[in-house]
Amino acid sequence: MAGSARYTAILDANVLYPNLLRDLLLSMASAGLYHARWTSQINDEWTRNLVANKPEVAPKIALLLELVNQAVPDCLVENYASLIDSLVLPDPDDRHVLAAAIAGHADAIVTINLNDFPEEVLAQHGIEAQHPDDFVMNQLELRPFEALEVIKRVRARMRNPARSSADLIQMLEKNALPQTAQYLKSRAGLI
């Protein structure tokens, strides 16, 4: 894909790793709120860490990865490796994420590690780094009805055990989404 008219965000490994955050971000992308993209290298990073921290998921990781990649059409960015060596970031291991954002025509990188993606470096490429809490809040503010419906569907899929709106809000808060949790407290009946 040469480019996208929709707002496009590269999802860093640290936002794909947590199950709830991954589900929420992919569900918002599947609903057309934005275009989510990542790379095979990002997939390798989050799945490797998931298996290292939760070895019991190892037998299911291939299926999980297949489902993640199928959740969003045109999600995998390719042909970005040639850009990596020309980029300078505080952590050289993060250059592949910025390279993917450039090659993938992304508007943003959604990451928990904002300090790894300095504004002055990203601005040269017309890209911004957003914390997932800010990113989700942007979706809620730009398209509140659609975003709330997505959150409602995410909660409805939680069956083992089933979760109340209050449970989900608490889970979001524990997953580093305090603004989102606060916003949803007054809208709990909608989710």
Q: How many CB atoms lie within 10 A of CB 9?
A: 29
Structure-block tokens of residue 151: 């959150």
Do residue 128 and residue 181 come from a single domain?
no
In terms of domains, do 19 and 94 share one? yes
pLDDT band at 5 (very low <50, low <70, confident <90, very high): low
**How many domains is the chain partitioned into structurally?**
2
Give the model's confidence band at 1: pLDDT under 50 very low, under 70 low, under 90 confident, else very high: very low
CA-nearest of 89, 85, 70, 80 to 29 is 70
Q: Which residues of 52-63 are buried (b: 16+ CB within 10 A; e: fewer)?
A: eeeeeeeeeeee
Q: Annotate 13-47 with b (16+ C-beta within 10 A) or e (fewer).
A: bbbbbbebbbbbbbbbbeeebbbbbbbebbbebbb
**Count of CA atoms in the C-beta half-sphere (13 A) of 182:** 7
Tokens of 149: 């419906």
pTM of the model: 0.93
21 lies in the same domain as 99: yes
Domain interval for residue 99: 8-132
On the question of pLDDT at 182 being above 60, the answer is yes
- Residues 149, 124 within the same domain: no
State whether 94 and 149 are in the same domain.
Answer: no
- State which of 132, 158, 175 marks the end of a domain: 132
Residue 1 domain flag: no
Convert 75-90 to b/e letters by CB count within 10 Å (16 or more is b).
bebeebeebeeebebe
Six-digit token string for 152:
């409602």
Per residue in 117-128, pLDDT (tens digit) is 999 999 999 999
In a domain, 125, yes or no: yes
